[in-house]
Amino acid sequence: MVYFKLTKELVEIIKDSRLENLVGCQKYCDRQYISFKDIEAVLQKLKKDMKDAQEKLQKKIAAESKKKGNKEITAEDLMNNKFDVLDFISRDKITETKEELEEVIVSLRKYESMEIRQITEKTEILFIDEHICNDNLKIRYVDEAFMEPEELIEENEKSLVTLKDCEKKFAEDPDVKQAREQSNEVMLEQIKLRIEKKQYREMTKGLRGGDAQEQELENQEKQEFRFTLAFGFGFISLMFLSFICGYFLGLHIFGLSMTNSLIMSLVFGISTIILETILFLIRLDKMDRQKKRIVKED
């Protein structure tokens, strides 16, 4: 899993989200890590709080404008006020003034357009198994040096190796990078061309004539099917005839005994099988190369 070392800046962000005891390592853990999922949750919470505060401020301004205009209060307004009161009670706060909402918006505005990368690039990334907080700081002996979480975070910052530091240290050679990017561009162009050709074939497959390459591929498949049928019947016929011819050739032409004629039949038959197999492999190789050529051009 992906974790990051807690820093002072990360701790402040967590405090602003009011999730101190829900994300990251707990107070007495001697690791002081935070997972990528927790950082994502913190950022989503900050943006949600910002949006909620803006909506409440708009409602507050609208309510004040209604009061100034002496507009008659409707049943719908009463219901909305009822839900607002219930929402405030659930947050242990019955009223929120306009000034307080503005302060909340100002304090959260810096997180409105913030992305996770802006947070993670300032801390050290860790690839470890799932981390479970321990109580190593809590159970230390009295005579040992007791470290506070803040001190651990300072140690994290001192030994920090960010992604930018890794990029500088293990930077790719410019010439190699340029060659790789050029190769990738050529590959992307080839892929785009293939996609365009495929879309064109899909558009024109119902038209008379169709695409030449598509027709060539279909003809190739038909030729393979016809060749398979012809080879199957030819193989069976030649094998049968070779055994028969070998037997009668030895028995009637060369005047051999029945045993020797059977042996000669086997020789003719096995030789025919070997020859047909070699010819079949050559033909298959030729068809495969032709099919690959068509697909490559495609």
User: Quick one: 56 and 195 in the same domain?
Assistant: no
Q: How far is CA 263 from CA 70, 223, 246, 266, 267, in A?
A: 119, 38, 8, 5, 6
User: Quick one: 234 and 289 in the same domain?
Assistant: yes
User: Quick one: 7 and 62 in the same domain?
Assistant: yes
- List, in order, residues 6 or more apart from 2 with CB less than 8 Å away: 35, 36, 125, 126, 127
Q: Is the pLDDT of residue 164 over 70?
A: yes
What does the pLDDT look like over 127-151, one tens digit per residue? Answer: 888 887 876 666 555 445 556 777 7
User: Quick one: 40 and 124 in the same domain?
Assistant: yes
What's the token pair of residue 124? 């050290």
User: Quick one: 267 and 196 in the same domain?
Assistant: no
User: Quick one: 246 and 184 in the same domain?
Assistant: no
What local confidence, expressed as pLDDT, does residue 90 receive?
40
User: Quick one: 219 and 201 in the same domain?
Assistant: no
User: Quick one: 229 and 107 in the same domain?
Assistant: no
User: Quick one: 229 and 183 in the same domain?
Assistant: no
- Per the listing, tokens 């990051």 go with 4
For residue 51, how far is the Cα from the chain centroid? 30
User: Quick one: 23 and 160 in the same domain?
Assistant: yes
Q: What is the mean pLDDT of the chain?
A: 77
User: Quick one: 141 and 22 in the same domain?
Assistant: yes
Q: Please state the domain count of the chain.
A: 3
Residue 298 or residue 56, greater confidence: 56
The answer to whether the predicted template modeling score (pTM) of the entire model surpasses 0.85 is: no
Instruction: Give the residue numbers spanning the domain of 244.
Output: 211-297
